[in-house]
Amino acid sequence: MNVLFAPDWRQGVPYQSLLAEALTAAGVRVDFLSDYKRVLPLTRLLKQHPADLLHLHWPEAYYPRKRDWWDGFRRARFVPDLTLATRHTPFVLTAHNLMEHNERPIFAHTNYAAAYRQARLVFAHSAVAAGELIRIYGISESKIRIIPHGDLSVTLPPPITQAEARARLGLPEGPLCLMFGAVEPYKGQEDVIAHWRRAHPKARLVIVGKPRDAEYAAVIQDAVQNLPNVILRLGWLADPDLALYLSAADVALFNYRTIFTSGAASLARSWGLPLLIPARLTTVDLAEPNPRVARFDRLDGNFAERLTTILETRPDYAGAAPWRAQWAWSRVAELTAAGYREALDAGALRTKH
């Protein structure tokens, strides 16, 4: 079985590399659609890279927003391009997102809706996520398969003691709340910074990661001015550095304004790091109830209470072993390959009839 992953976002996201490696071990050949062509990118590229099955991950790669006169055209061409490209090549889609980030819903919804409806199968990362796909996009429950996100900690060096990690990073003693990963508006860091300025929580806030662009970096830098209880370190986080920050932290904090699946939250669970996350983000599967996961309603609501409680729970990498086993890539690949076979079998039946 030859499967084509699209787009090729291995540079920024380890998910595809880890899944492809596990699928290869399970006997599935995986190639990546790494190029980009104008006008009808998917249609033209699939002609050059024939495969048994297309596995689409992030549709927005094929209508990139460049803030130029062609943005409308790129967005409008996606549906006919996808339809033409998959006339003879069935495709499945992983629901990493409900819709694209940092875009107005009226625009973000349209192309995702077409992709979800045309896909032969859709892979969701939680039962609640599957329910949202059904509710919002009208997808038939019969074509959704639930597959765990996968353990991202396997790309990182093993944890070290908190004291050693803080010494290497130059971080102070005392409770530390960590927000890590891409620094973008949908992550809600601005709201957290404002809360730290206003309420002075019982922990220092550490924000590390690469900003979306220079303009947004300036917004975040301005927000933390004259805040001694906030440490901001902007820039790309290599795996060894990320492992240090995870080892140094007491709690991982997430405040997404909207999110469907969170690889970062999954990584925190794999690391055995206690985490705080909004109660509204019900689609993020963290195997709850669990003493290392605390949900808060609002930053100005029960956040302080939840923070106090979760700070009493110490990080425990060894204790997260059952989570890592459940989210192992071998299991993810097994479920994914079963979905591939089902999608291809369905196509064979349609051809016969």
Give the pLDDT confidence of 225-278 residue by residue, as tens digits.
999 999 999 999 999 999 999 999 999 999 999 889 999 999 999 999 999 999
Task: Give me the sign of the Cα torsion angle 13, 18, 19, 20.
Answer: positive
Three-state SS for 243? helix
Three-state SS for 173? coil
pTM of the predicted model, to two decimals?
Answer: 0.90
Tokens, residue 113: 């809706």
DSSP letter assigned to residue 290? -
Q: What would the pLDDT profile of 172-212 be if each residue is shown by its tens digit?
A: 999 999 999 999 999 999 999 999 999 999 999 999 999 98
Q: What would the pLDDT profile of 286-341 be if each residue is shown by its tens digit?
A: 999 999 999 999 999 999 999 999 999 999 999 999 999 999 999 999 999 999 99
Domains of the chain: 2-150+328-352 (3.40.50.2000), 153-325 (3.40.50.2000)
- Provide the angle, in degrees to the nearest 10, between the axes of the packed helices 41-48 and 71-85: 40
Tokens, residue 36: 């980009």
- Rounded to whole angstroms, how far apart are CA atoms 254 and 264? 9
